[in-house]
Amino acid sequence: MFDYLIRNAVVVDGTGNAPFEADVAIRGGRIEAVGKLADQPAGQVIDAAGRYLTPGFIDVHRHGEAAAFRDGYGKAELAQGLTLVINGNCGLSMAPIQGPNRQEILDYLAPVVGDMPAGCDFTSVAEYKQQLSRVPQRIHNGILVGMGTVRGCAAGFYDGPLNDEQYAFIHSLLKQGLEDGAQGVSLGLGYAPECFYDTEGMIRSLEPLKDSGVVITVHMRQEGDEVVEALEEMLTVARALRTPMQISHLKAIGTRNWDRCVPKMIELLRAARAEGIDVTCDVYPYPAGSTQLIHVLPPEFQAGGMDALTEALLDPGKREIMKQRMKTGTDFENISLLVGFENIQATSLRLPEHQIYEGRNIVEIARMQGKDVYDALFDLLAAEHCTPAMIDRITSDSDIDRILSEPYSGVISDATYPENGLMHPRVYGNIPRLLEHYVRERGLLTIEAAVRKITGLPAERFCLKTKGHIAPGMDADLCLFDLKNIHQTGTWQKPDQLAAGMDTVFVMGKPALLEGEFTDHFVGQIL
């Protein structure tokens, strides 16, 4: 007898093939059969009544490794149909963190990942998984080894070339992380301290991955004026390492780069793939991003970490240099020059006296303080020891359309989880945004193409062999919904609203969400 029989579903199976009508049977956490099963016995029968049944959705780019310890974690994810997420992206993983630079690394991660959970210490990926295993999970969680964190353990925020010993230490941490079961490796070349690698040094740091088949996700060195060159750099790295690579959140920042750089990058990606380089990309379906607010500063000032940067922000001479660099520089991701301070909102402010600025853009804050925009920004950052985050409106909708239209592009959220403050709506709304806006309202993607980008494609990319498809033998991670009800409830002003329209979500054969209500099935696994 089946545990569950879902009858009369329109199955979108994760392959990208057209939807088909079928019954799907579940037993022992797996999909047991797909077809005409009406007359077969089952513990419980669910009439899908023509609703879509898809594999559980997968988001391979989130920053929730610390959030996974918080109360209520998994609800925002499950309500949008996510059954599996991979954290530790952009080089910024919270494991493995060890050695004398621990606190500096944690301070640097805070605007993206949040704080180290109370009573925890993730000196290795194994230690991370062990500690997470004590917290019941609604969904499956994986983690990548972040190479920024690893470099931080070896050399702090030192900006010079590394020595043999430091490379050896980086290699040992990387190999240990993979042995401990990380799903891959993430790079954050736009961030300190990885921005201090030249191409050769970066390749050397990744030496153990040569011909490994381990996937590398890449937040590139630049997403602004030199984004095309940054992609060329990564294709050089992919050629040298011969291991799968996924370019994270592909985009071109800045009005002058819109509609110009993404078409070039798509051409480069297509050519590289035709040449046999195993490279893909992903995109988040919003024209705004979110990361550390210090990301608007010239990266060279991040040498020495947050203490040194805070000092520089208070030093009149260095402030002046920063200001001039930001007014004209094109050799770094100069976000304020590219999109304007009015498109950069300060968030996750911690000081009580700064709460009136939460969610306001830098121009507004400067006006409220009667200061020049640069002074307002530098003062705010220095007073907050550089830990604020930002939501920055940086990309064009037409570029998002172009990337979504490529069959090898995945969809991710890049959800960040700072401890407090206004969050990006993608944390709660990424999947509904994709299904509601790009499938139902605009028809840019068919349902099967969109579903593939958040099921079969990422599962294949990350070698999750029992995930991402509806077929006998696969894990019974499933979503049941009516497309017309899917809705991103959160807004830019009030983003932390559970998504609407997902009816039932199975995780390992158990309904973790049943007809819109959370159940007490906590069967999520640590990958």
Q: Which residue has the tokens 């621990």?
A: 102
Distance of CA 165 to the CA centre of its chain: 31
Q: Which residue has the tokens 């370019």?
A: 247
| Residues paired with 246 in a beta bridge | 217, 280
Cα distance between residue 409 and residue 245, in whole Å:
12
Q: Is residue 510 a contact point for Zn ion (CB under 5 A)?
A: no
Of 56 and 299, which CB lies nearer to Zn ion in the complex structure? Answer: 299
Task: For the CB of residue 186, give the shortest distance to Zn ion in the complex, in Å.
Answer: 8
Q: Are 505 and 78 in contact (CB under 8 A)?
A: yes
Task: For the CB of residue 89, give the shortest distance to Zn ion in the complex, in Å.
Answer: 6
Q: Is residue 219 a contact point for Zn ion (CB under 5 A)?
A: yes
Task: For the CB of residue 333, give the shortest distance to Zn ion in the complex, in Å.
Answer: 11
Touching Zn ion, residues 343-402 (CB under 5 A): none
Task: For the CB of residue 248, give the shortest distance to Zn ion in the complex, in Å.
Answer: 5
Mode of pairing for the β-strands spanning 245-247 and 389-393: unpaired
User: Distances in Å between the alpha carbon of 298 and those of 8, 290, 333?
Assistant: 57, 17, 8
Q: Are 221 and 147 in contact (CB under 8 A)?
A: no
Stretch of 165-173, 219-227, 348-356, 447-455 contacting Zn ion, by CB under 5 A:
219-227
Number of other CB atoms surrounding residue 502 within 10 Å: 26
Task: For the CB of residue 394, give the shortest distance to Zn ion in the complex, in Å.
Answer: 12
Of 90 and 241, which CB lies nearer to Zn ion in the complex structure? Answer: 90
Of 249 and 402, which CB lies nearer to Zn ion in the complex structure? Answer: 249
256 CB contacts (<8 Å, ≥6 apart)? Answer: 225, 338
Of 137 and 302, which CB lies nearer to Zn ion in the complex structure? Answer: 302
Of 90 and 391, which CB lies nearer to Zn ion in the complex structure? Answer: 90
Task: For the CB of residue 218, give the shortest distance to Zn ion in the complex, in Å.
Answer: 9
Q: Are 511 and 517 in contact (CB under 8 A)?
A: no
Of 189 and 480, which CB lies nearer to Zn ion in the complex structure? Answer: 189
Number of residues counted as binding Zn ion (CB under 5 A):
2
User: Distances in Å between the alpha carbon of 230 and those of 245, 307, 520?
Assistant: 14, 29, 46
Task: For the CB of residue 414, give the shortest distance to Zn ion in the complex, in Å.
Answer: 6
Task: For the CB of residue 249, give the shortest distance to Zn ion in the complex, in Å.
Answer: 6
Q: Nearest CA to 479 among 499, 502, 457, 498? A: 502
Touching Zn ion, residues 139-158 (CB under 5 A): none
Q: Is residue 251 a contact point for Zn ion (CB under 5 A)?
A: no
Q: ∠ CA(315), CA(321), CA(322), 5° rounding?
A: 85
Tokens of 88: 């530790």
Of 138 and 219, which CB lies nearer to Zn ion in the complex structure? Answer: 219
Touching Zn ion, residues 179-218 (CB under 5 A): none
Of 189 and 470, which CB lies nearer to Zn ion in the complex structure? Answer: 189
**DSSP summary character for residue 284:** -
Cα distance between residue 265 and residue 285, in whole Å:
18
Touching Zn ion, residues 461-480 (CB under 5 A): none
Task: For the CB of residue 92, give the shortest distance to Zn ion in the complex, in Å.
Answer: 8
Touching Zn ion, residues 72-111 (CB under 5 A): 90
Of 295 and 402, which CB lies nearer to Zn ion in the complex structure? Answer: 295
Q: Are 244 and 282 in contact (CB under 8 A)?
A: no
Question: For binding to Zn ion (CB under 5 A), which residues are involved?
Answer: 90, 219
